[in-house]
Amino acid sequence: MAESNTKATASFPVFSILLLVFVLCKAFEYGPIASWSWFWVLSPVWIGGIAAFVLGVLTGLVTKK
């Protein structure tokens, strides 16, 4: 029988959990997040997207050597 050489990796979805917490606090008007604009409540989405883009560009620049 052939053996499989696959590895299982787990990642912690920091931005997803942070987004969920922010949206729930805003929706239920809980704490200081209730006074934030939706721009900042949804910030984990665009901050995570910008971080992924920057890391992708940097990785592309480093590996082009």
pLDDT per position as a tens digit, 7-63:
766 567 888 899 999 999 999 999 999 999 999 999 988 888 899 999 999 999 998
For Cα atoms 17, 49, 40, give the angle at the middle one, nearest 5 degrees: 60
pLDDT given for residue 49 in this prediction: 87
Amino acid at residue number 34: A
Q: pTM, whole model, 2 decimals?
A: 0.65
Q: Where are the alpha helices (DSSP H) in 1-65?
A: 14-27, 38-41, 43-63
Q: Any idea what the Cα angle at residue 27 is, between residues 23 and 28, rounded to 5°?
A: 120
**What whole-number distance in Å separates Cα of residue 31 and Cα of residue 48?**
24
What is the pLDDT, as a whole number, of residue 13? 85
Tokens 């592309």 correspond to what residue? 60
Reply yes or no on whether the pLDDT at 5 is more than 60: yes
